[in-house]
Each structure stands twice: as C-alpha cells, then as structure tokens.
C-alpha cells in the first residue's frame, strides 16, 4: 500500500512513526516572511512584506516555549507589549515606528519599520568617526529622546546597539522593550531592567526615574564615542554596578588628551549621581558639550576598542537587557569591601538562573544582510526539554541528532573586555593577544590571562568566563627591598624626604637609585648613602 507523506514529514527509521522536519517559517499573521535578518538570545528578526499595502517591515519575535523558569514567559511577553505600546504612541523621524503586534502559539511578535542600515555599534567597530559625526549622532539622539520624554516615555536602554542609521544617514532609536510609560511598573517586583554599562544610579537602585535617567545613558554613550571606553569599569558586573552608584567616572581627558578641559566638566555633570545634578534636557546637555568641544578645534574622538567583529563586541551584544538586583543606595563605609562582596554574592544568587539561560546557549550564525531595527546578534535560545522516562521514536531521533553535533555547544565563545592601569598593556591567552583596552573571544571556564607592559611587572590572573566579562589589570613597576638597620627611632630620609616609619624598617620601593640618610633622635644626621634597588633584591644598610 502506497503512503503519502506530507512535505514537512519524514518516515522514522524505527517504524511507521513520522517525524516533523524543520520547515522555514512562511508567514506571521498576514505578513509574508521574505528572509531572516538576524538571531538574538531572545528570538529571531525577519524581513516581511505586508501584502495588503506592499510595505516591507521587520518582525521581531520571541519564542517563549523553551523557558523553564516560572513567570519568564509572561515577563518576556509583557516586555514586548511594553515595547509596542511605548513606541506606538511616538511619531518622530528619529524613532523606529511600530506597526502591529501579533501573538501565535508560544510566540509574540512586533511588526515595525524596516530600517535598511547598520547600527551605531557596527559603525563604531568598523570605522573611525569624525568629530562632526560624533556630535551629529548625539544631537539627533538627544532630540528624539526629548520628544519621547515630552510624550511621557522613557527609553531606559540607550546604547550603540539600539541606534540605527537610515539609508539617508539619519539616526533612529529602536528597542523600547524596557521603556516605561508614566508610572507603569516592571513585570518583576524589586528588579530593574537595562544594560549594566549604560544604567543610571537611580535605575540600579530602583528609585524613581525621569528623563535624566536617559540623559545619564546618553552621557555614557557620548563618553564612549569620544574616549573609546565607557566611564565606569570593573572586573565583574556587580563591581560595575557598585562603581556606577558610588564611584567617580574615569577622567575622559586621561583617555583622550585632545579634549579641552571644559568637555570633561560637561560630561561629569551629565554623569552626576543625583538626577537633579544633570542638565535640564538631553538637547541642552549635547548643546553645552558641543560648545565645549569646539573650544579646541584639533580634538579627535578615540576609536572604540571593543573589537573588530560582532563576536568580539561588548557583553551587552551577547544578551538582551538584563534584570539587575536593587542596590540600596547608602554611602559606602570606610571599609567598603564587605559591602561589595555581599552585593556580589546577592547579585550572583538572584541572576544565576537568568544568566544561565541567556549565556550558555549554542551559537548561531548571523545573516550578513542589513539588520532591521533592534536586531542584536547573539547566541540563539535552544534550551532542551528533559526527555520522558520512555522516549518515543521522535525523541530518540532528536537525541541522535544532538549527539551527532556536540561541537555546537563546545564552540561557544564569549567576548571579554580587558583594560589596564596604565593602558596599552599586552594581554594574552594562549595564542590570542591584544593591547588594552581591548576584547578577546574566550571559551567558557577558567582562563589564565597574562598582562605585560614595558617597565612594569607582568601579571597573570585567573578569569572566570562568562561570570567575568570585564577585567582590569593594575600593573606595578618592578620593586626592590631596602632594609635599614639603624638605631631605633632614627628618621629615614629617602631622596631628602622623611620616610613614614622610623628605623629599623624594611622599605619596598620601585626599582631605581635612591639617596638614603638617617637622622638620630638627637638631631645628628648620618652620612648620606646611595643605593641601587632592582627587582626581587634586598639591600641592607647598617
């Protein structure tokens, strides 16, 4: 007897059971799928056509079927609905237009304006930006943000990956997935949404947010475009959030000496810890920054050191905005280390499930076609479901296929950002090398990283991937030991300056030549002696 097998089915080798083959998605609602534009950690973005009016659109989807934690499906569905509602009430040339929202099976999709262009992150990684381009990008972004603020909408996730260029070169803000309308609360109580490096202190601390919150993120972006690095850095995300809330930003003129002093003053004001200490609007901030930069015609932006490809980009490219724990914004004590440690432990505990789901997925190739609005290439979600006690033939086939391609999981790499104090150190892991600040692609697990800089001692540190995606080396100059065995209580002079401790004492000094002299308690000075200190050597003076 002849059996007819539908096009999307195939016969199972173990018997007459039929297995469903993977068939490309043909349509979403009334929208006809043209092609896939990109994949991210939370879903797929397609180029589609609306047959009713012949208009191209980008459709951003999230497949919620693979979520294992209770409440995740509703939380992510709420996020997409919030994105559609936020951007749907906005009509501005600098903001991507939302057309429609669709729900089918365990998938939610947003239909939006298709922007046939690159993201700002792409531009930053591929080419240098001229001073005029940087200021122009910031001016356009500020104008669009002020418009959204006038309509009661906060974006809350301004970053390079969420800014796109139209074919005409206009900047368009996309991804209002974490935007807040009026007093609308987030889906998860006690949690805040955003991308860690660009979050404002009040956003981290779960305090009241305002247009000044987006201004802080815009200031981080401006700092990065001008100096090539972000204003806050740390070896871990918990340390980064602590620094944003409590520590001063890095000096922008240290990273870019071509800037006038006035530019640093402007950026520090926009990065103020308290929202009231910032500018009245985003446009005012950028206007003052532009005036400050133009006082020195020769200034130039420093190219970003994130890397040269999508796979080597910053951590926020690897994942969607993350839920971060609320940080109680109290002044740090004189001994802040216990507070940092406790905060880090709490952070790791609260986010263990969230990061495990997002950062341990197999890597997928990304279409090289122009990306649509809010496309951030990243590992695709592919969390397998547990097998039943008595697997059916279909399950057996899936297990065989998974066993045949174990390299999909093993090949996953994570971009780890390295910086050093001083900068320009050579960082190496095996055969990979780069000059700080820079990024290396590293596999999951413990990696031993070496940093070297001429005139400084090399440093080897252990980095845990993906728990640590940002790491800073502090390199010390070679030092030698000097033991002074003089009379008790005698003052030690080093190069004519009194030392902080009295004799007898052991001093650790950078390698070099020093003039040493002792002064007895009665005021009598001994003969000055010259000593040469070298790395790892101890010199004794009697």
Q: How far is CA 202 from CA 122, 156, 197, 268, 332, in A?
A: 29, 11, 14, 16, 16
Report the range out of 18-27, 88-97, 374-383 with the highest average pLDDT.
88-97
Average pLDDT over residues 451-464: 87
Alpha-carbon radius of gyration of the chain: 28
Question: Would you say 447 and 469 are in contact if contact means Cβ atoms under 8 Å apart?
Answer: no
* Listed residue (286, 300, 299, 368) closest to 122, CA to CA: 368
* Residues sharing a CB contact under 8 Å with residue 270, sequence separation 6 or more, in sequence order: 215, 216, 218, 219, 222, 278, 279, 285, 289
pLDDT per position as a tens digit, 257-267: 999 999 999 99
DSSP 454-478: TTS--EEEEEEETT--EEEEEPPPP
Average pLDDT over residues 451-462: 87
For CA atoms 244, 250, 256, 259, the dihedral sign is positive
**Antiparallel, parallel or unpaired: β 438-443 and 470-474:** unpaired
* Residues sharing a CB contact under 8 Å with residue 376, sequence separation 6 or more, in sequence order: 38, 40, 161, 175, 316, 317, 320
pLDDT per position as a tens digit, 149-170: 998 888 888 999 899 998 888 9
- pLDDT confidence tier of residue 69, bands split at 50, 70 and 90: low
Q: Is 489 left (phi over 0), alpha (psi -120 to 50) or beta?
A: left
The catalytic residue positions are 157
Question: Would you say 429 and 440 are in contact if contact means Cβ atoms under 8 Å apart?
Answer: yes
Beta-carbon-side half-sphere exposure of residue 128 (alpha carbons within 13 Å)? 7
**Antiparallel, parallel or unpaired: β 413-421 and 470-474:** parallel
Q: CA-CA distance, 184 to 174, in Å (whole number)?
A: 20
Higher pLDDT, 198 or 510: 198
Question: Would you say 73 and 67 are in contact if contact means Cβ atoms under 8 Å apart?
Answer: yes
Domains of the chain: 1-114 (3.30.200.20), 117-359 (1.10.510.10), 412-474 (2.60.40.1120), 480-541 (2.60.40.1120)
pLDDT computed for residue 474 by the predictor? 87
């Amino acid at each position: 007897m002849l059996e007819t097998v539908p096009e999307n089915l195939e016969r199972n080798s173990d018997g007459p059971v039929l297995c469903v083959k993977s068939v490309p998605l043909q349509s979403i609602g009334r929208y006809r799928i043209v092609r896939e534009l990109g994949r991210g950690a939370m879903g797929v973005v397609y180029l589609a056509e609306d047959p009713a009016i012949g208009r191209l659109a980008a459709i951003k989807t999230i497949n919620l079927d693979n979520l294992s934690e209770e409440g995740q499906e509703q939380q992510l569905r709420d996020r997409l609905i919030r994105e559609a509602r936020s951007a749907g009430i906005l009509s501005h040339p600098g903001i991507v237009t939302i057309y429609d929202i669709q729900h089918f099976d365990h998938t939610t999709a947003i239909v939006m304006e298709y922007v046939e262009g690159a993201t700002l992150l792409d531009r930053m990684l591929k080419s240098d930006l001229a001073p005029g381009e940087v200021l122009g990008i910031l001016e356009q972004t500020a104008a669009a943000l002020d418009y959204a603020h006038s309509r009661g909408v906060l974006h809350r996730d301004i970053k390079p990956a969420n800014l796109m260029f139209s074919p005409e070169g206009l900047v368009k803000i996309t991804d209002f997935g974490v935007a807040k309308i009026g007093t609308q609360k987030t889906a998860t109580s006690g949690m805040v949404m955003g991308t860690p490096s660009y979050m404002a202190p009040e956003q981290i601390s779960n305090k009241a947010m305002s247009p000044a919150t987006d201004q802080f993120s815009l200031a981080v972006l401006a700092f990065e475009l001008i100096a090539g690095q972000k204003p806050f850095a740390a070896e871990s995300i918990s340390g980064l959030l602590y620094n944003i809330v409590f520590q001063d930003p890095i000096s922008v003129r240290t990273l870019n000496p071509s800037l006038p002093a006035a530019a640093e003053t402007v950026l520090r004001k926009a990065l103020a810890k308290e929202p009231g200490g910032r500018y009245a609007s985003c446009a005012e901030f950028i206007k003052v920054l532009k005036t400050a930069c133009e006082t020195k015609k020769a200034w130039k932006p420093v190219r970003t050191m994130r890397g040269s490809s999508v796979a080597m980009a910053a951590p926020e490219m690897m994942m969607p905005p993350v839920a971060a724990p609320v940080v109680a914004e109290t002044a740090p004590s004189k001994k802040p280390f216990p507070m940092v440690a406790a905060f880090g432990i709490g952070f790791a505990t609260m986010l263990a499930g969230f990061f495990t789901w997002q950062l341990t997925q197999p890597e997928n190739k990304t279409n090289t076609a122009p990306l649509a609005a809010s496309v951030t290439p990243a590992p695709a979600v592919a969390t397998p479901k547990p097998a039943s006690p008595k697997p059916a033939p279909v399950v057996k086939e899936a297990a065989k296929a998974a066993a045949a391609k174990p390299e999909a999981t093993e090949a996953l790499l994570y971009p780890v950002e390295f910086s050093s104090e001083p900068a320009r150190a050579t960082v190496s892991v095996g055969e990979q090398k780069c000059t700080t600040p820079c990024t290396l692609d590293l596999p999951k697990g413990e990696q031993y990283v070496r940093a070297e800089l001429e005139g400084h001692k090399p440093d080897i540190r252990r980095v845990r991937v993906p728990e640590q995606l940002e790491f800073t080396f502090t390199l010390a100059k070679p030092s030698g030991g000097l033991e002074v065995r003089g009379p008790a209580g005698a003052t030690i002079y080093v190069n004519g300056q009194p030392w902080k401790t009295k004799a007898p004492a052991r001093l650790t000094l950078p390698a070099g030549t020093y003039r040493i002299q002792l002064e007895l308690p009665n005021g009598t000075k001994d003969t000055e002696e010259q000593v040469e200190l070298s790395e790892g050597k101890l010199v004794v003076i009697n």
